Structure 1
């Protein structure tokens, strides 16, 4: 059994997608992303500038283009997943891998998601909290929140790695109160994703998702907001819409993926591979040009 996992927006960097651009199959996907995007994505991935690349309007399409290029390379070599999951915006790439949507639909939907989210007022941010349990972070976030200044757990990345998301003022209060945390790091993001502050984009996002040509998945998908494998299209659609403001249950998703013999991080990132290794799951990252040889050896054994 093999699982494909797809990274999200936080993995963008200048130079991403390098070897995938040089691959005939991967390069074709990146050129298609350029054609369907308001401005060339591949050039932005290759050369930046970084402030423009990390902007939500560009970061989500950039990550998705690299994810889909890596997926195309794997498919060309005959590798197929038995289960898929994606981290935040990476969930759309996972749905493409499961056959829910084709490449063009995925690129267009991610573009719509990015535009809707980037159009919201920048009233909040996110911070990674290390060394505290989810339950303790929830308690502190509730104490730090105030009317009009929400703060919630946006992502459960691992047992002791939680991301809070919400208003800047609430994050400041949280940081001051969370002295027992090993480390708190402000994330370089343009807003408070996976929090109530994204509510203004939900209606537009729901309309975009429900009007897209979607099909039932060919294999199980593990949505972020449920962390439970499903092949029910209605469940997948509802979860994809809810994900905009809902919590990413990645630590629980990894436990579901632990039944796989090995996983592949499908994109130019090693972030999810590192997380999965903490759960004892072998994961090959497509960030390395040698990934195909490594994966072939694993499959052979």
Structure 2
């Protein structure tokens, strides 16, 4: 049994997708991305500049392009998942892998998502918190939040790494009171993703999602906001909409994946591979051509 997991926006870097661009199947998908997206991402992925690549308007399409290019390479080699999940915007790629959406629909939707999120004027902040259990982080964000200044747990990446998201002022109060935390690292993001500050984009995002052609999945999907496998299309659609403001329950997702024989991180990233290792899940990253040999060896055992 094999699981496919797809990385999100935080994994972009200059040079990403290099070997996938040289692969016939991967390269075809990357060229298709440049045809469909509002602005081509191929040159940005290859040469940057980094400041432009990491901007939400470009980062989300860029990571999705690399994810779907890696998926095309795997499909050409005959690999098919038994279960899928994607981290944040990676959930769109996971839905494509499950047969819910085709490649063109996925690119069109990620273009809308990136545009809506980057256009929000009410900015916030995010920070990675290491060394506290999620229950304690939840207590602290409740104490730090105030009317008009929300702060929430935005992502549960691992049991030891939680991301808080919301108002800059509330995050400053959180940082001041979290004296037992081992480390707090501010994230270089343009807004407070997976928090109430994304609410201004929800209506238009919901309309775009509900208008997109979708089919029931061919394999179970684990939505971020539930962390539970499902094959119900209505559940998947609702979760995809809620994800904009909702929590990414990646720890729960990884535990659901603990029953697979191995996972593949489908994209030019090793971030999820490292996270899955904390839960004892074997995973191979598609970040280099050698991954195909590694995957073949894992599949043979």
- Give the TM-score of the pair, scaled to structure 2: 0.99
Tell me the residue number matched to 1:229: 229
Q: Aligned pair 1:40/2:40, yes or no?
A: yes
Deviation at 1:35, TM superposition (A): 0.4
Equivalent residues in 2 for 1:28-67 (5 A)?
28-67=28-67
Tell me the distance in 2 between the aligned counterparts of 1:181 and 1:267.
Answer: 32
Provide structure 1 residue ranges, at least 5 long, that are not aligned to the other structure: none
Deviation at 1:37, TM superposition (A): 1.4
Equivalent residues in 2 for 1:1-301 (5 A)?
1-301=1-301
Deviation at 1:160, TM superposition (A): 1.3
Tell me the distance in 2 between the aligned counterparts of 1:122 and 1:7.
Answer: 26
Tell me the distance in 1 between the aligned counterparts of 2:112 and 2:238.
Answer: 17
Deviation at 1:170, TM superposition (A): 0.6
SS at 1:258 equivalent:
helix
Deviation at 1:289, TM superposition (A): 1.2
Count of residue correspondences: 301
Tell me the distance in 2 between the aligned counterparts of 1:265 and 1:87.
Answer: 10
CA deviation map 1:204-247 (0-9, x unaligned): 00000000000000000000000110000000000000000000
RMSD between aligned residues: 0.6
Task: Tell me, yes or no, if the aligned pair for 1:150 and 1:166 is still in contact at 8 Å.
Answer: yes
Deviation at 1:133, TM superposition (A): 0.5
SS at 2:248 equivalent:
coil
SS at 1:20 equivalent:
helix
Task: Tell me, yes or no, if the aligned pair for 1:122 and 1:190 is still in contact at 8 Å.
Answer: no
Tell me the distance in 1 between the aligned counterparts of 2:202 and 2:160.
Answer: 30
Tell me which stretches of 4 or more aligned residues in structure 1 moved more than 6 Å. Answer: none
Tell me the distance in 2 between the aligned counterparts of 1:92 and 1:123.
Answer: 24
- Give the TM-score of the pair, scaled to structure 1: 0.99
CA deviation map 1:6-46 (0-9, x unaligned): 00000011110010011111000000000011221111001
Task: Tell me, yes or no, if the aligned pair for 2:122 and 2:197 is still in contact at 8 Å.
Answer: no
Task: Tell me, yes or no, if the aligned pair for 1:125 and 1:166 is still in contact at 8 Å.
Answer: yes
